[in-house]
Amino acid sequence: MISTKTRRFYLGGCRSGKSRLAEEWVREQAIRPTFIATMQPGDDLEMEARVALHRQSRGEGWHLVEEPAEIVAVLMANEFNSDVILIDCLTLWLTNLLLIDRSDDEIEHRVAQLCQAIQDCSASVVLVANEVGLGIVPENSLSRRFRDLAGWINQQVAASCDTVLFVAAGMPLVLKGDD
């Protein structure tokens, strides 16, 4: 169990193992964990099945909050008095903000609020995000905007965390901290 508050950031490509590693760390450290899920499966049956599989793999003992946009408020409220809060994932959070037509300035303001909340939260905070900047330059402006904002968000959150891990093929590489 953790004795001091910590802030960890797991970053990697899709299906890299970042969520699994983040959940394993929380499972080993937390007594009262909360999972903040930003995914909105909508009417996508395949995505609903993925969400159900994620819930099942976490097992019992987790408080679940499904919140697509207002993660700062959920983080600061810590309504379950959790000792560790896991947010998965910031990339979907960005997608949700874009889908509700938030401007870049509004998104930047929310990211600043998130970074402050990471510091101020009464619990340890673990965050997960996709690294989307390793591929080719997207062909359309919305995709480039998404990639640019995701990269910027990852930089801001990484600066706010004690430990940053890049995950590839299920293997973590410590970018920051002494993990």
| Residues carrying an active site annotation | 54
Q: How distant, in Å, are the alpha carbons of 81, 82, 131 from that of 121?
A: 11, 10, 25
Residue 89 vs residues 1, 2, 97: alpha-carbon distances, Å: 24, 22, 13
- List C-alpha distances in Å: 171 to 21, 62, 179: 9, 24, 13
Q: Which residue has the tokens 């008095």?
A: 81
- 4-32 burial: b if 16+ Cβ within 10 Å, else e: eebbbbbbbbeebbbbbbbbebbeebbee
Query: Does residue 22 contact residue 8 with C-beta atoms inside 8 Å?
Result: yes
User: Count of alpha carbons within 13 Å of 22, Cβ hemisphere only?
Assistant: 33
